[in-house]
């Protein structure tokens, strides 16, 4: 049985994806019980039994998807102690670091904690791993994102432009002011080219955790002048309720045939839809025994990366390859 905490956009898309994949029993919870009830009612008429429940019922499940706003670390610890595996969609840097520190707890309880099972981080790590066999060896991964999943995600990204960006650089963590380092990044249509800047996001931590041999790992986020100028102030306008079309761009650099080589892959869709489908595929894999106990990240050596990426693509997420190949 799978539980979902958070019945917002990401949780709703995760529920839809799980139902479509044949999951027959789901428990959903939200801080607003009416929202959880609406999500459960929406699935009426399907073969699945989706029930809105209080938070205490999550301890009766096999795995819980945390699709609620961060922080997730305390909730993940309580679930692991109760013998429940956890899939977290958090992209908050401090929250991610706190969950990675729960590895000993997860191993002791023989449960799995998958950290960063979203679009970014999550799908970004899967794409780096997907591209690595095309090289003799890879040494750099550079991620860029555009768009947000919904109001809570928009607020998190707003704060991310006011903090400190973290990146892995030649064997050490390098911190730079968020909002600096402008770079024009080309995303798949209909998003196109966007100015992107350093931001306090978790992708470098997750990707380095999964592929520690990389020499450089960075992340940037699209932003306009107003975003950067107001990052340290409360949001001036309410975030869009539906998030809108977003995109992910992953650039991998390395060596092939004794020459430097670059591959770029991206996706463009609603961020919440991508995140929900990644989280759903991950939860199903945990149930099926695809992950060992302990803290896992998508893209690491012990995760079922090919199966996960295939499940995400089969659910409707299209990959766009920028260099010398057709869309897939």
Taking only the tens place, the pLDDT of each residue in 21-36 is: 998 899 999 999 999 9
pTM metric for this prediction: 0.92
The CA radius of gyration of the chain, in Å to the nearest whole number, is 19
Lowest-pLDDT range of 156-165, 176-185, 212-221: 156-165
- pLDDT at position 147, please? 87
The predicted model gives 285-302 an average pLDDT of 95
- pLDDT at position 60, please? 95
Please check the confidence at residue 68 and state whether its pLDDT lies above 90: yes
- Kindly report the three-state secondary structure assignment for every residue of 297-308: CCCCCCCCHHHH
The 10s digit of each residue's pLDDT in 190-211 is 999 999 999 999 999 999 999 9
User: Measured between alpha carbons, how far is 245 from 323 in angstroms, rounded to an integer?
Assistant: 23
The 10s digit of each residue's pLDDT in 117-145 is 999 999 999 999 999 999 999 999 999 99
The 10s digit of each residue's pLDDT in 218-233 is 999 998 776 766 666 6
User: Measured between alpha carbons, how far is 104 from 77 in angstroms, rounded to an integer?
Assistant: 11
Please check the confidence at residue 235 and state whether its pLDDT lies above 70: no
Please check the confidence at residue 176 and state whether its pLDDT lies above 70: yes
**Torsion on CA atoms 269, 243, 159, 202, rounded to nearest 10:** -30
Please check the confidence at residue 236 and state whether its pLDDT lies above 60: no
For 184, counting Cβ atoms within 10 Å of its Cβ (0-12 exposed, 13-18 middle, 19+ buried), the class is: exposed
E strands present in the chain: 2-5, 25-29, 49-52, 63-66, 85-88, 112-114, 137-146, 164-169, 172-177, 183-186, 193-198, 216-222, 245-256, 259-270, 294-296, 320-321
Percent of the chain scoring above 70 in pLDDT: 91
Lowest-pLDDT range of 11-15, 77-81, 86-90, 163-167: 163-167
Q: Are 7 and 39 in contact (CB under 8 A)?
A: yes
| Residue 318 backbone phi and psi in degrees, to 5 | -100, 135
User: Measured between alpha carbons, how far is 109 from 294 in angstroms, rounded to an integer?
Assistant: 9
- pLDDT at position 228, please? 64
Please, which pLDDT band fits residue 326 given cuts at 50, 70 and 90? very low
- pLDDT at position 227, please? 73
- pLDDT at position 328, please? 39
- pLDDT at position 327, please? 40
Please, which pLDDT band fits residue 325 given cuts at 50, 70 and 90? very low
């Amino acid at each position: 049985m799978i539980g979902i905490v958070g019945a917002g956009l990401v949780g709703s898309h995760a529920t839809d994806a799980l139902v479509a994949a044949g999951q027959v029993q789901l428990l959903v919870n939200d801080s607003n019980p009416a929202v959880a009830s609406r999500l459960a009612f929406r699935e009426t008429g399907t073969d699945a039994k989706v029930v809105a429940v209080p938070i205490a019922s999550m301890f009766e499940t096999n795995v819980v998807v945390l699709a609620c706003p961060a922080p997730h670390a305390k909730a993940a610890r309580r679930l692991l102690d109760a013998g429940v595996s956890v899939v977290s969609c958090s992209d908050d840097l401090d929250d991610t670091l706190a969950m990675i520190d729960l590895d000993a707890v997860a191993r002791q309880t023989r449960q799995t904690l998958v950290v960063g099972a979203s679009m970014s981080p999550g799908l970004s790590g899967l794409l780096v791993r997907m591209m690595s066999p095309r090289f003799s060896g890879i040494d750099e991964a550079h991620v860029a994102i555009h768009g947000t999943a919904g109001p809570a995600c928009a607020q998190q990204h707003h704060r991310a432009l006011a903090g400190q960006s973290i990146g892995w650089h030649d064997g050490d963590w390098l911190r730079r002011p968020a909002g600096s380092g402008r770079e024009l990044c080309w995303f798949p249509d209909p998003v196109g080219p966007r100015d992107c800047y350093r931001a306090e996001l978790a992708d470098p931590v997750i990707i380095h955790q999964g592929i520690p041999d990389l020499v450089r790992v960075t992340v940037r986020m699209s932003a306009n002048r107003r975003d950067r100028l107001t990052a340290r102030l409360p949001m001036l306008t309410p975030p869009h309720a539906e998030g809108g079309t977003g995109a992910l761009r992953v650039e991998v650099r390395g060596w092939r045939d004794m020459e430097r080589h670059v591959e770029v892959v991206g996706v463009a869709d609603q961020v919440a839809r991508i995140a929900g489908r990644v989280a759903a595929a991950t939860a199903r894999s945990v149930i099926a025994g695809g992950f060992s106990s302990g803290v896992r990240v998508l893209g690491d050596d012990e995760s079922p990366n090919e199966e996960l990426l295939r499940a995400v693509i089969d659910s409707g997420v299209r990959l766009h390859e920028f260099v010398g190949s057709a869309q897939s």
